[in-house]
């Protein structure tokens, strides 16, 4: 079969929407589309059905993909233009689009039919692929992708199901039309992710696919081929988050005999930041091939070949083949962070095609990293309650922290072409920094150039939140290990620790926001599951919490007088009187999910920022709007007031931070990194003189609040959250390496 059971399109979060919009169709065998008569169905999925079609005159066969959508008149011309562009792809390792058309408003694509099936059918899930085959397949896919990238196309759905075998057993990459199909259909109006989450690069999950995203996906495939397992397991939400923050487990954990140079190459291609991967996908394939030329690699290949001819595993068989018999059961809940070892000489510039050999002498270094959120106990609990579904919608999952946090797992639009993306020298310099082991620039996952004053290490997974109490004595931190903890700033001693009370426990019920009251007595914790708890620090106990959960991803913020608590519930903001939890105001003027919330220090206004790209400033007790700020062009990520309540700094996924004035509605200045990296959270110092901004490149920039000029920077590592100490001499960050760190400013 050419296509898998899903029609080579996987987007589980969209399938529900598609099924609502499209009636269940009977088999269309016998239908005539253009010059092709449909003879039998090969596969189906959320977006399309794929049929074997026979040309009515030539009696040749082709694969016909029929989309589950009807195009409006104005969309037909767009579909035709872009189908023509896709059809111009001419490469020996790319499935050709032979024809296309629209029949009764339904678009279809005619493609080469490869009767030898897919690599998924040739090597089913859980089966290891010999290293010599992995190298061959990788080279062919890389050549196809390199050609497509030169044509300014990103594939965005690299996986074994989209790799076909031609008549001469050559590899043919298929489904370049998936993005085209989405872009030209009504499905583009739905928030969606084009691609398959198990293979998706972090930046693609954030709606910013780049050519290096295809390299990352191919590296996931290589990882799976080598050990029989993909690096990240779990629910849709958990896998998406792990792509963004969790280092992949060591391949040698599953396959002890795998040569170290091979693993090193794969791990470089799996770096979280696109700039830290190989300069291009061809360089990745070449480095992988060269890594197999060592004596240890050759012996590994021979061992695999011998095993192919043995009738059954024997006790003398090397450990890597014994491990494969365990399949999913051998997965450990412990993950490992990868630290690239020095490689000399550095790789060549993009497109040169001359990649020096990977160093074979320096061993890889591993350090303990995040565990699966909630651990085995929570995972088993989730399995025990299959009928109770997660309240958090998989289709609209958004990943950030209080007031927006760091990253957004947003909808990917239907954009096929990438424009003026690459900055070769920047990417090359970053890559050389990773390979040389130079950590002075704060490369993600490596030791920062300046040591923190204190590292809190009690969390067992990435720390998404860190907030300083107003009296300076304590910090509250929230982690993907499902806990929120309060600890002392002098010794890092834990005072309190809580988890969500929702039953049954789920592996992604972790804290989503933290808010200290202004006397530092109370801490409000909002969880992903929509529940809210209030802790009394002085009494060391839980206070009156919200009995009925709000919508998932609860954001919370206190009024300065501590009489009210504002809570985000989807696209609404509810203002509660505390502690009786009576609703005072329901603000419903946003048109999409609210991602950021901040109460002005003088208590007069609430600022709320949404996926609708707007910031609303309004009166908390009346809902009266004072200001609509509309200068951002993408989802709002964070909001923070100046201490005098006259200005706001807002960050958004348009890769900017903007400082604007409440009285004039005027933007005073805009901060944007030259590299175009996504901007994280921005926080105003208590004296009003400085703004700290996470610049998306494992670094915090400090801006002069009056001018926006960068005064200095801090190599923080990958940080999801930051906050000032009350005296403005220190900063706390929540980091992906399971720590919360205190830095001297």
Residue pair 472/725 in contact (Cβ under 8 Å)? The answer is yes
User: Which SS3 state, helix, strand or coil, does residue 136 take?
Assistant: helix
Residue range 557-585: average pLDDT? 94
Query: Per-residue pLDDT for 340 more than 90?
Result: no
DSSP code string of 158-188? -SGGGEEE-TTS-EEE--THHHHHHHTSGGG
Q: What is the pLDDT confidence band of residue 303, given thresholds at 50, 70 and 90?
A: low
Which of 43, 328, 324, 41 lies closest to 161, judged by CA? 43
pTM summary value? 0.50
What is the CB-side half-sphere exposure of residue 257 using CA atoms within 13 A?
Answer: 20
Helix axes 260-269 and 295-308, enclosed angle (nearest 10): 100
Residue 698 tokens, joined = 């494992």
Please, which pLDDT band fits residue 371 given cuts at 50, 70 and 90?
A: very low
Contacts of 172 (CB under 8 A, 6+ apart): 93, 94, 95, 112, 114, 163, 164, 165, 166
pLDDT tens digits along 118-160: 899 888 988 999 998 999 999 999 999 999 988 888 888 899 9
Please give the structure tokens belonging to residue 415. 């954009």
Indicate the length of the chain as a whole number.
Answer: 745
Lowest average pLDDT, out of 169-183, 458-472, 644-658, 709-723, goes to 169-183
Task: Tell me the mean pLDDT in the region 89-117.
Answer: 86
Residue 27 confidence (pLDDT): 54
Percent helix, strand and coil across the chain, each rounded to 5? 25, 30, 50
Could you check whether the bond before residue 345 is cis, i.e. omega within 30 degrees of 0?
Answer: yes
Strands (E), 126-259: 163-165, 171-173
Report the pLDDT averaged over residues 157-166: 90
Please state the domain extents for the chain.
Answer: 454-744
Using one digit for the tens of pLDDT, what is the confidence trace for 107-117?
888 988 888 88
Over range 226-255, report the average pLDDT: 89
User: Using CA atoms, how far apart are residues 328 and 683, in angstroms rounded to an integer?
Assistant: 43
Name which of 137, 135, 139, 281 is nearest 212 in CA terms: 281
Q: Residue 159: what are its φ and ψ, rounded to 5°?
A: -170, 160
Q: How confident is the model at residue 298 (pLDDT cuts 50, 70, 90)?
A: low
Residue 274: count other Cβ atoms within 10 Å of its Cβ. Answer: 23
pLDDT at 677 over 90: no
User: Tokens 């969390």 correspond to what residue?
Assistant: 459
pLDDT-derived band of residue 305, with 50, 70 and 90 as boundaries? low
Neighbours of 40 (CB within 10 A): 11
Residue 623: is it exposed, middle or buried by C-beta count within 10 angstroms (0-12/13-18/19+)? Answer: middle
**602-629 per-position pLDDT tens digit:** 999 999 999 899 999 999 999 999 999 9
CA distance 708 to 697: 18
User: In sequence order, what are the beta bridge partners of 700?
Assistant: 694, 714
For residues 291 and 327, is the Cβ–Cβ distance under 8 A?
A: no
673: closest CA among 690, 653, 656?
Answer: 656
Q: Which residues contact 82 (CB under 8 A, 6 or more apart)?
A: 180, 183, 184, 416
Residue 43 binned pLDDT confidence (cut-offs 50, 70, 90): confident
As a whole number of angstroms, the distance between CA 508 and CA 528 comes to 7
Identify the pLDDT of residue 508. Answer: 56
- Is the pLDDT at 633 greater than 50? The verdict is yes
Task: Return d(Cα 232, Cα 242) in angstroms, integer.
Answer: 7
User: What mean pLDDT do residues 275-290 have?
Assistant: 92
What superfamily would CATH give domain 454-744?
A: YVTN repeat-like/Quinoprotein amine dehydrogenase (2.130.10.10)
pLDDT at 153: 85
Residues 436-492 pLDDT 10s: 223 333 333 333 457 899 999 999 888 989 999 999 999 999 998 889 999 999 999
**Which of 640, 719, 397 has the alpha carbon at shortest distance from 528?**
397
Per-residue model confidence as pLDDT tens digits over 493-502: 999 998 888 7
Instruction: State pLDDT tens for residues 375-417.
Output: 222 222 222 222 223 333 222 232 333 223 333 322 222 222 2
- In this prediction, residue 135 carries a pLDDT of 93
pLDDT (0 to 100) of residue 45: 61
Average pLDDT value for the chain: 74
Backbone angles phi, psi at 422, to 5 degrees: -75, 140
């Amino acid at each position: 079969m050419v296509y898998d059971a899903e029609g080579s399109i996987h987007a589980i979060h969209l399938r529900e929407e598609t099924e609502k919009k499209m009636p269940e169709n009977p088999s269309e065998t016998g239908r005539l589309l253009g010059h092709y008569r449909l003879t039998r169905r090969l596969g189906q999925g959320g977006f399309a059905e794929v049929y074997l079609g026979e040309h009515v005159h030539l009696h040749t066969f082709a694969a016909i993909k029929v989309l589950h959508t009807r195009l409006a008149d104005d969309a037909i011309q767009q579909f035709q233009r872009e189908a023509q562009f896709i059809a111009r792809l001419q490469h020996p390792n790319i499935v050709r689009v032979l024809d296309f058309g629209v029949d009764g408003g339904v678009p279809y694509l005619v493609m080469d039919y490869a009767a030898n099936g897919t690599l998924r059918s040739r090597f089913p899930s859980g089966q290891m692929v010999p290293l010599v085959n992995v190298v061959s397949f990788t080279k062919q896919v890389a050549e196809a992708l390199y050609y497509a990238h030169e044509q300014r196309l990103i594939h965005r759905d690299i996986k074994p199901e989209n790799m076909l075998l031609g008549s001469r057993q050559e590899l043919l990459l298929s489904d370049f039309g998936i993005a085209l199909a989405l872009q030209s259909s009504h499905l583009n109006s739905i928030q969606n992710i084009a691609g398959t989450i198990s293979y998706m690069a972090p930046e693609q999950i954030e709606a910013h696919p780049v050519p290096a995203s295809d390299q990352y996906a191919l590296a996931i495939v290589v990882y799976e081929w080598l050990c029989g397992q993909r690096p990240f397991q779990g629910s849709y939400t958990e896998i998406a988050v792990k792509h963004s923050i969790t280092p992949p487990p060591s391949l040698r954990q599953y396959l002890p005999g795998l040569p170290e140079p091979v693993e090193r190459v794969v791990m470089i291609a799996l770096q979280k930041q696109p700039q830290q991967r190989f300069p291009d996908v061809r360089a990745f394939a070449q480095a992988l091939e060269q890594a197999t030329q060592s004596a240890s690699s050759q012996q590994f290949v021979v061992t695999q070949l011998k095993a192919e001819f043995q009738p059954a595993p024997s006790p003398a068989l090397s450990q890597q083949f014994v491990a494969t018999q365990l399949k999913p059961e051998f997965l450990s809940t412990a993950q490992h962070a990868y630290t690239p070892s020095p490689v000399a000489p550095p790789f060549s510039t993009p497109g040169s095609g001359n990649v020096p050999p990977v160093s074979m002498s320096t061993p890889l270094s591993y350090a303990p990293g995040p565990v699966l959120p909630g651990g085995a106990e929570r995972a088993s609990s989730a399995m025990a309650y299959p009928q109770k579904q997660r309240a958090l919608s998989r289709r609209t999952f958004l990943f950030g922290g209080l007031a927006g946090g760091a990253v957004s797992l947003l909808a990917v639009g239907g954009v096929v072409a990438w424009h003026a993306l690459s900055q070769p020298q920047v990417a090359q310099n970053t890559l050389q920094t990773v390979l040389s082991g130079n950590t002075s620039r704060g490369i993600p996952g490596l030791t920062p150039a300046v040591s923190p004053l204190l590292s809190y290490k009690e969390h067992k997974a990435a720390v998404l939140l860190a907030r300083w109490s107003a009296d300076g004595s304590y910090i509250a931190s929230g982690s993907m290990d499902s806990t929120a903890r309060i600890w002392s700033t002098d010794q890092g001693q834990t005072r309190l620790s809580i988890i969500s009370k929702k039953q049954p426990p789920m592996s992604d019920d972790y804290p989503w926001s933290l808010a200290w009251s202004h006397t530092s007595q109370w801490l409000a914790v909002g969880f992903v599951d929509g529940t809210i708890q209030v802790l009394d620090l002085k009494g060391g106990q839980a206070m009156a919490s919200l009995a009925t959960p709000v919508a998932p991803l609860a954001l919370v913020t206190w009024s300065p007088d501590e009489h009210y608590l504002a809570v985000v519930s989807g696209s609404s903001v509810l203002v509660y009187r505390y502690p009786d939890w009576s609703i005072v105001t329901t603000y419903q003027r946003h048109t999409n999910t609210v991602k950021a919330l901040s109460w002005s220090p003088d208590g007069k206004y609430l600022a709320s920022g949404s996926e609708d790209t707007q910031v609303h400033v309004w009166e908390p007790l009346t809902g009266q709007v004072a200001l609509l700020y509309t200068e951002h062009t993408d989802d709002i990520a964070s909001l923070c007031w100046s201490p005098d309540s006259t200005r706001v700094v807002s960050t958004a996924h348009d890769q900017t931070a903007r400082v604007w004035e409440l009285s004039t509605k005027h933007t005073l200045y805009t901060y944007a990194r030259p590299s175009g990296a996504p901007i994280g959270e921005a926080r105003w110092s208590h004296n009003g003189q400085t703004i700290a901004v996470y610049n998306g490149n494992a670094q915090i920039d400090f801006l002069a609040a009056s001018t926006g000029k960068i005064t200095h920077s801090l190599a923080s590592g990958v940080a999801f959250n930051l906050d000032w100490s009350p005296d403005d001499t220190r900063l706390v960050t929540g980091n992906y390496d399971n720590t919360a760190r205190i830095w001297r400013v």
